[in-house]
């Protein structure tokens, strides 16, 4: 469990980005947690606090009941527990060749080379980038780079994965692959925290949500609770997911995804269309 206790953060003293936030990720056995908020609401800042790159101005973060330690050893332990995939893949790609980049963190951990090769191969195949293994990273597309960045974190097999805008810049196929990957991670027992402006993606991928605005958690809950109020979403520059709109405006059952909705087609009747 990751617990934020009265956490505040500001980059300089002029503006508080996160303001006395207390919450527990994973307390209710959620597997995929969505952080929503408009541009500049502090989602990435929150993620950077969770992985110890930024340190709270006040308050603290506990991981499995232990406060984060900001020394070298403490941060190394934290990285094995919580992995982050940044919004901008270039921020976390170091090596020039795909397979070396993905192996980087494992080599730092001084694992046996044979084990490293096996883990790298498994992850590259899982993400469908095995054929790119010997390619220099600078020749990859944005979507391919994103997958390399994800691979570099997946090999660590951390309990928690933070995905900051994982669908940004991806085509519909890449978006669909990302959804499948999240489901695979959950099936593998891992937990995910993700942020995105793609409300339809968030709706389908996540089982619990936090809406961040003006430094506070404005709303939290399951999809039926958090997407219920269109005005609150609008005020935070977010759209209602289309499945919620169909439910609210046409009285259709609230479905978790399009397949669930289409499976109902013989049983639903829409008046006044
Ligand atoms: N390194 C920094 N120094 C000073 N201010 C920063 C820094 N990084 C971010 N900020 C400010 O902190 C606020 C929150 O930014 P952050 O990137 O966390 O928001 P976000 O919700 O992730 O936004 P987006 O949806 O655009 O990715 C913004 O006002 C931003 O300008």
Nearest CA to ligand 1 atom 26: 39
Q: Give the integer Cα–Cα distance in Å for 162 and 33.
A: 9
Q: Which domains does the chain have, with CATH numbers?
A: 2-227 (3.40.50.300), 241-273 (no CATH)
Q: What is the per-residue pLDDT across 28-86, written as a single tens digit (0 to 9) for each?
A: 788 999 999 999 999 999 999 999 999 999 999 999 999 999 999 999 899 889 999 99
pLDDT score for 272: 47
**How many whole angstroms from 11 Cα to the centroid of ligand 1?**
9
What count of Cα atoms within 13 Å lies in the side-chain half-sphere of residue 128? 9
Tokens of 242: 């289309």
pLDDT score for 273: 54
**How many whole angstroms from 32 Cα to the centroid of ligand 1?**
23
pLDDT at 267 over 80: no
- pTM for this predicted structure: 0.92
Q: Give the integer Cα–Cα distance in Å for 45 and 10.
A: 9
**How many whole angstroms from 50 Cα to the centroid of ligand 1?**
15
pLDDT at 178 over 70: yes
Cα dist from 186 to 21, 36, 182, 222, whole Å: 26, 20, 6, 17
Q: Which of 202, 220, 200 is nearest to 212 (CA)?
A: 220
Q: Give the integer Cα–Cα distance in Å for 68 and 60.
A: 8
Strands (E), the chain: 2-9, 18-25, 32-36, 58-63, 66-67, 82-85, 160-164, 191-195, 208-213, 216-221
Question: Please, what is the average pLDDT of the chain?
Answer: 91
End-to-end Cα separation, the chain, in angstroms: 47
Q: Which of 17-26, 146-155, 173-182 has the highest mean pLDDT?
A: 17-26
Residue from 10, 11, 13, 194 whose mutation best tests the ligand 1 pocket (most atoms within 8 A of CB):
11
pLDDT at 23 over 50: yes
Nearest CA to ligand 1 atom 4: 11
Q: What is the per-residue pLDDT across 205-220, written as a single tens digit (0 to 9) for each?
A: 999 999 999 899 999 9
Average pLDDT (222-246) is 92
Q: Is 17's C-beta closer than 6 angstroms to any atom of ligand 1?
A: yes
Q: Give the integer Cα–Cα distance in Å for 199 and 241.
A: 5
Average pLDDT (135-158) is 91
Phi first, then psi: give them for residue 195, nearest 5 degrees.
-125, 145
Q: Give the integer Cα–Cα distance in Å for 137 and 21.
A: 38
Nearest CA to ligand 1 atom 2: 11
Residue from 40, 51, 84, 166 whose mutation best tests the ligand 1 pocket (most atoms within 8 A of CB):
40
Q: Is 14's C-beta closer than 6 angstroms to any atom of ligand 1?
A: no
pLDDT score for 271: 61
pLDDT score for 270: 65
Q: Which residues of 214-223 are buried (b: 16+ CB within 10 A; e: fewer)?
A: ebebbbeeeb
Q: What is the ipTM of this complex?
A: 0.98
Tokens of 45: 């800042």
Q: Give the integer Cα–Cα distance in Å for 222 and 11.
A: 31
Q: Is 43's C-beta closer than 6 angstroms to any atom of ligand 1?
A: yes
Q: Give the integer Cα–Cα distance in Å for 107 and 97.
A: 15
Tokens of 221: 């809950």
């Amino acid at each position: 469990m990751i617990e934020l206790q009265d956490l505040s953060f500001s980059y300089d003293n002029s503006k508080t980005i996160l303001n006395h936030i207390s919450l527990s990720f994973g307390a209710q056995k959620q597997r995929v947690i969505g952080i929503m908020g408009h541009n500049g609401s502090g989602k990435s800042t929150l993620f950077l606090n969770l992985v110890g790159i930024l340190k709270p101005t006040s308050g603290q973060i506990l991981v499995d009941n232990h406060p984060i330690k900001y020394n070298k050893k403490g941060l190394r332990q934290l990285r094995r527990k919580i992995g982050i995939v940044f919004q901008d893949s270039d921020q976390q790609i170091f090596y020039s060749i795909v397979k070396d980049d993905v192996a980087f963190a494992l080599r730092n951990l001084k694992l046996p080379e044979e084990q490293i090769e096996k883990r790298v191969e498994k992850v590259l195949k899982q993400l469908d980038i095995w054929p790119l293994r010997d390619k220099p990273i600078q020749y990859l597309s944005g979507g391919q780079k994103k997958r390399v960045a994800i691979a570099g974190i997946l090999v660590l097999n951390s309990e928690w994965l933070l995905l900051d805008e994982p669908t940004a810049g991806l085509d519909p196929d890449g978006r669909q692959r990302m959804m499948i990957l999240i489901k695979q991670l959950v099936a593998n027992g891992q937990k995910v925290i993700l942020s995105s402006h793609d409300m339809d993606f968030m709706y389908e991928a996540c089982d619990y949500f936090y809406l961040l605005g003006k430094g506070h958690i404005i709303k939290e809950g399951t999809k039926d609770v958090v997407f219920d109020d269109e005005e609150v979403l609008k005020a935070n520059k977010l759209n209602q997911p289309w499945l919620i709109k169909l439910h609210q405006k046409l009285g259709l059952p609230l479905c978790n995804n399009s397949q669930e909705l289409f499976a109902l087609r013989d049983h639903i009747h829409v008046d006044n269309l």
